[in-house]
Amino acid sequence: MDKYGLIGDPINHSKSPQMQTAALKQAGISATYTLLNEPGEELAQIITRLRTNNVAGFNVTTPFKQAIIPLLDELDASAATIQAVNTVKNVAGKLIGYSTDGAGFWDSLPQIPVGSKVAVIGAGGAAKAIIGAAPANVDVCVFNRESASFGEHQASLQALFKLELQPLTTLPAQLAEIDILINATSVGLHDNVSVLTLADFTGLKPSALVIDLVYKHGQTQFLTYASATQHATMGGLPMLVMQGALSFTIWQQQAADITAMQAAL
């Protein structure tokens, strides 16, 4: 029986096992999908164990999406473009990395008007996946807090996408022009903190869609503020389903039953 699963830290909150198990069952595939590492376990040790156990494939989440690259044998174009991996397939002993986050995100959205202005908060793997897969007819701008790694993130975005990373402090002044606002950081996953204030949301274009890639029971503070200012909101579950469906297709060479995956959540 083939084994699949998820690596990351933390991962105990993940809904991927329920979702992928439902897809496997619906497709009549005899395989398992489980959490594959313990908290604090070193990534190199995890990958060595997965190779030894001949795990057929696995998903990768924070904080391993970029760190895993040197431990893999090959990257496909989606992962090479953004230098981040969220899906790995074992092909005859070779571990090949893919990224389905970006395509999964855009697949989860309603039709986007041409020329929409999209603001992405964050510069990590999820943000780069969204930027790298963005439709050509949208205008993407990226913001991040000015931490010690700001310059490194700025250089990376410039090299990969010819985009300038802007300080998060400059975003509120631009919110009136934003059509889609995305939190692609992990802020709000473990606490009730938001990267923007309630006052900031009052300056956001009224028709804007606000998205938080974090998913947890109940709304994040980011989405709570957006709801309070009467903005349309979307949590991270639709993206989770769509990127997971694309991972399933990579592993199984057939489409996943998205309805079954959604029902499992």
Residue 16 marked ligand-binding: yes
What would the DSSP string read from start to end of 42-99? -HHHHHHHHHHTT--EEEE-TT-TTTTGGGSSEE-HHHHHHT--SEEEEETTEEEEE-
Active-site residue, 65 included: yes
Per-residue pLDDT of the chain (265 residues; tens, 9 = 90+): 999 999 999 898 889 999 999 999 999 999 999 999 999 999 999 999 999 999 999 999 988 998 999 999 999 998 998 888 999 999 999 999 999 999 999 999 988 999 999 999 999 888 999 999 999 999 999 999 999 999 999 999 999 999 999 999 999 999 999 999 999 998 877 788 999 999 999 999 999 999 999 887 789 999 999 999 999 999 999 999 999 999 999 999 999 999 999 999 8
181 CB-near residues (< 8 Å, 6+ apart): 119, 121, 175, 204, 208, 209, 210, 211, 226
Please check if 67 is assigned to a binding site. no
| Owner of token pair 């300056």 | 203
3-state secondary structure 234-245: ECCHHHHHHHHH
Catalytic residue among 3, 65, 89, 128: 65
Q: What pLDDT score was predicted for residue 155?
A: 96
Task: Find residue 140's DSSP bridge partners.
Answer: 118
How high is the pLDDT of residue 238?
A: 94
pLDDT value of position 111: 86
Residue with tokens 């205008």: 139
Give the Cα separation of 107 and 259 in Å (integer). 14
Q: Which domains does the chain have, with CATH numbers?
A: 2-99+239-264 (3.40.50.10860), 103-234 (3.40.50.720)
Question: Is 76 among the annotated ligand-binding positions?
Answer: no
